[in-house]
Amino acid sequence: MCGIVGYIGSKNAKEILISGLKRLEYRGYDSAGVALTSDNLDVVKAVGKIVNLEEKINGFKKEAKIGIAHTRWATHGAPTEINAHPHMSCDKKIAVVHNGIIENYADLKEKLQRKGYKFSSETDTEVLAHLIEENFKGDLLKAVMDSLSVVEGTYGLAVIHADQKDKIVVARNGSPLVIGVGKGENFIASDVAAILSYTDKVIYLADKEVALLTLKDVNIFDLTSRPLKKEISKIDWDLEAIEKGGYDHFMLKEIMDQPQAIKNGLAGRASVKDGNVHLGGINITAKEFASVRRIVITACGTSWHAGLIGEFLLEKLAGIPTEVEYASEFRYRNPIIDPGTLLIAISQSGETADTLAALREAKQKGAKTLGIINVVGSTIAREVDGGMYIHAGPEIGVASTKAFTCQVSSLIMLSVYLGRMRNLSMSEASNVLQELLLAPEKIDEILQQAQKIKKIAAKYCKYSDFLYLGRNLSYPVALEGALKLKEISYIHAEGYPAAEMKHGPIALIDPDFPSVFIIPKNNLYEKTISNIEEIKARSGRVLAIAEEGDNFIQNLADDVIYIPKSHEVVSPILSTIPLQLLSYFIAIMKGCDVDKPRNLAKSVTVE
Ligand code: M6R
């Protein structure tokens, strides 16, 4: 995720900013940059690692005492030097670094362009630099506040001005920003890890707050310029704990990140009002979509499981026949692709070798292609005709968690988008989007049960084999639950369609072979209950993931984890969360290295 660092004081700002950026490296980034004010405002940027920026900036001999810096994890526009932050105003006097997404940037950009402002990057952030320039009448704080009054979206931002060398203005709405308070110097950061070696006294900026930092003072205001009194807190975490957001492992942090990650993906896209989804990068016209007769989804691992859910969604909401293929299989047969075939490649990393090869094969045969990708500017993202980024943020744990739920959320949006070009009614589309927008809150409710799930994990961690069972949309969830358990705890686990179990796997059932059932209250509920009965009749132990209000299941299952009720298309997102936590806790209890499981790599770039 993007990172921000800023400094105002009497020391060499360049060194403090670079060391702060290095502290943020663990979060993932693709480019970086700094802006320093001395006799004038200088901006230096580099693609790739911080060392590249460091090499470039070493040639910068002026000693600046004020500066802002940024690591970018691309969301709008490829990871290039031009798109890297800081972004500058046309007069080259204002520099801005920004985390978050400006949702109305297209509208603001058009208005500014009409006034003659020239844009050089593809980013949403650049509008802020020009907007502040437009509003600047000698007072930087006021110019930032006036600009933010027309901005919609999320931001953690910092601004400096060449003619106002005694201040940094920062603001926050939905993207973290912390102010480090020193003696005769002050700091800013998107994450305390960046400044903890300089000060442990911090002020956490809340949403819709703006701060003016000078050498000696920190003054905080609301967006109407009303001064606010804020408490200074003392940080007593060590650096390693901070990098993981206070969690013991990246995997747990990423599980806990999911409400925000899904919100980020929905921001500015899902519109309940008009029952539609606004997607910027699809690059396929409505006429071309009208000629699509069939969709083929290709992916590997967890992303393939998301694809299975996508198959159901695209058929149900968009009415387009859909198949899902393991990329590694697709590429080695002679897949039938005609001009009516749309290929969707799903990949967190955007670099998986098999998925990339399958994509190339389909393109060569004339298919239109879309990507559902997390890493902006990755190879698959660059090679597809169009697509959507899932905006999950960097996923560091090898086991995919937040990328999966964000992929499913994106597939729901894509299905509504395509459905609205066909026969999906506005009211059904609005209903689905409304339910999807409620998902982050419902995930939060499930995450609050972490301690209960930990106790259940303690009961189950002694078993060495598991079956995961579900029907319909819960079947891919079962596959994903089983994959999560086996890859991080090395326990044997298999996912099956619940009804298929009696055609073979039921032979395995005994008191030491538990089954995890995903059983939402839908039209297959009674049939799934019968499948549970079949397991119980063979003395099998059952853990059920069921919906709140389902009291009946308590009489049948040995243990139940409840999730909130939801629309059937959203339920796979919710039912996945307890399975992630269950695997995590079981793996921890077995002493496994959950973030780096043996034999696995985060990005599989070999066949
Ligand atoms: O980056 P991708 O989504 O293309 O990766 C595909 C699989 O390697 C990946 O989903 C893998 O199965 C997960 N790490 C499992 O948690």
pLDDT per residue as tens digits for the range 314-356: 999 999 999 999 999 998 888 899 889 999 999 998 989 899 9
Atom 7 of ligand 1: nearest residue by CA position: 301
Atom 9 of ligand 1: nearest residue by CA position: 301
Q: Does one domain contain both 401 and 265?
A: yes
Could you tell me the residue range of the domain that residue 376 belongs to? 244-446
Q: 58 in the Ramachandran plot: left (φ > 0), alpha (ψ -120 to 50) or beta?
A: alpha
The finding on whether 352 has its CB within 6 A of some atom of ligand 1 is yes
Query: Considering the chain, what is the average pLDDT of its residues?
Result: 93
Which residue of 250, 349, 398 sits with most ligand 1 atoms within 8 Å of its CB, as the best mutation to test the pocket? Answer: 349
Which residue of 251, 298, 300 sits with most ligand 1 atoms within 8 Å of its CB, as the best mutation to test the pocket? Answer: 300
Whether residue 86 lies inside any domain: the answer is: yes
The finding on whether 301 has its CB within 6 A of some atom of ligand 1 is yes
Q: In the prediction, which pLDDT does 236 show?
A: 65
Looking at the CA of residue 399, tell me the nearest atom of ligand 1. 16
Under 8 Å between Cβ of 572 and 309 = yes
Task: Give every strand in the sheet of 386-389, ordered side by side.
Answer: 322-326, 294-299, 341-347, 368-373, 386-389
In DSSP terms, which residues pair with 180 in a beta bridge? 187, 202
Q: Please give the residue that has the higher pLDDT: either 551 or 242.
A: 551
Domain boundary among 431, 446, 461: 446
Q: Round to whole Å and give the CA distance between 40 and 84.
A: 20
In DSSP terms, which residues pair with 158 in a beta bridge? 97, 170
Q: Round to whole Å and give the CA distance between 472 and 495.
A: 13
Neighbours of 65 (CB within 10 A): 20
Q: Does one domain contain both 148 and 175?
A: yes
- pLDDT exceeds cutoff 60 at 404: yes
Please indicate, yes or no, whether the overall pTM of this predicted structure exceeds 0.85. Answer: no
pLDDT grade for 606, boundaries at 50, 70 and 90: low
The finding on whether 302 has its CB within 6 A of some atom of ligand 1 is yes
The finding on whether 603 has its CB within 6 A of some atom of ligand 1 is yes
Q: Does one domain contain both 28 and 156?
A: yes
Looking at the CA of residue 301, tell me the nearest atom of ligand 1. 12
- pLDDT exceeds cutoff 60 at 607: no
Contacts of 447 (CB under 8 A, 6+ apart): 255, 256, 258, 259, 577, 581
Atom 12 of ligand 1: nearest residue by CA position: 301
Which residue of 352, 488, 607 sits with most ligand 1 atoms within 8 Å of its CB, as the best mutation to test the pocket? Answer: 352
Prior bond to 86 cis, omega within 30?
A: yes
Q: In the prediction, which pLDDT does 379 show?
A: 82
In the reported structure, the alpha carbon of residue 349 is separated from the centroid of ligand 1 by a whole-number distance in angstroms of: 8
Average pLDDT estimate for 483-496: 97
Q: Please give the residue that has the higher pLDDT: either 38 or 244.
A: 38
The finding on whether 264 has its CB within 6 A of some atom of ligand 1 is no
In the reported structure, the alpha carbon of residue 167 is separated from the centroid of ligand 1 by a whole-number distance in angstroms of: 45
Q: Round to whole Å and give the CA distance between 385 and 44.
A: 32
Backbone angles phi, psi at 341, to 5 degrees: -95, 130
Q: Does one domain contain both 161 and 199?
A: yes
Whether residue 599 lies inside any domain: the answer is: no
Whether residue 600 lies inside any domain: the answer is: no
- Output the domain CATH number for residue 249: 3.40.50.10490
* SS (HEC) of 419-480: HHCCCCCHHHHHHHHHHHHHHHHHHHHHHCCHHHHHHHHHHHCCCCEEEEEECCCHHHHHHH
In the reported structure, the alpha carbon of residue 601 is separated from the centroid of ligand 1 by a whole-number distance in angstroms of: 9
Q: Does one domain contain both 65 and 174?
A: yes
Residues in the chain: 607
Q: Does one domain contain both 390 and 311?
A: yes
In the reported structure, the alpha carbon of residue 395 is separated from the centroid of ligand 1 by a whole-number distance in angstroms of: 11
The finding on whether 515 has its CB within 6 A of some atom of ligand 1 is no
The finding on whether 409 has its CB within 6 A of some atom of ligand 1 is no
Average pLDDT estimate for 516-525: 96
Average pLDDT estimate for 41-47: 95
Q: In the prediction, which pLDDT does 512 show?
A: 96
- pLDDT exceeds cutoff 90 at 196: no
Helices (H) and strands (E) in the chain, counts: 19, 27
Whether residue 292 lies inside any domain: the answer is: yes
Q: In the prediction, which pLDDT does 220 show?
A: 97
- Output the domain CATH number for residue 155: 3.60.20.10
Q: In the prediction, which pLDDT does 605 show?
A: 66
Q: 291 in the Ramachandran plot: left (φ > 0), alpha (ψ -120 to 50) or beta?
A: alpha
The finding on whether 298 has its CB within 6 A of some atom of ligand 1 is no
Whether residue 605 lies inside any domain: the answer is: no
Q: Does one domain contain both 227 and 263?
A: no
Average pLDDT estimate for 541-561: 97
Q: In the prediction, which pLDDT does 601 show?
A: 76
Q: In the prediction, which pLDDT does 76 show?
A: 78
Backbone angles phi, psi at 100, to 5 degrees: 115, -170
Q: Please give the residue that has the higher pLDDT: either 82 or 244.
A: 82
pLDDT per residue as tens digits for the range 299-319: 999 999 999 999 999 999 999
Average pLDDT estimate for 131-140: 97
Looking at the CA of residue 400, tell me the nearest atom of ligand 1. 16
pLDDT per residue as tens digits for the range 226-273: 999 998 988 766 666 667 878 999 999 999 999 999 999 999 999 999
Q: Does one domain contain both 164 and 223?
A: yes
Q: In the prediction, which pLDDT does 280 show?
A: 87
- pLDDT exceeds cutoff 80 at 478: yes
Q: Does one domain contain both 364 and 249?
A: yes
Q: Round to whole Å and give the CA distance between 90 and 163.
A: 15
SS3 content of the chain, % helix, strand, coil (to 5): 40, 25, 40
Whether residue 584 lies inside any domain: the answer is: yes
Q: Does one domain contain both 390 and 421?
A: yes
Structural domain total, the chain: 3
Q: Does one domain contain both 289 and 418?
A: yes
Neighbours of 7 (CB within 10 A): 30
Looking at the CA of residue 603, tell me the nearest atom of ligand 1. 1
Positive or negative CA dihedral for 9, 13, 15, 20?
Answer: positive
The finding on whether 487 has its CB within 6 A of some atom of ligand 1 is yes
- pLDDT exceeds cutoff 80 at 26: no
Residues annotated catalytic, as ranges: 2, 602
Q: Which residues of 248-263 are buried (b: 16+ CB within 10 A; e: fewer)?
A: ebbbbbbbbbbbbbbb
Q: Does one domain contain both 216 and 259?
A: no
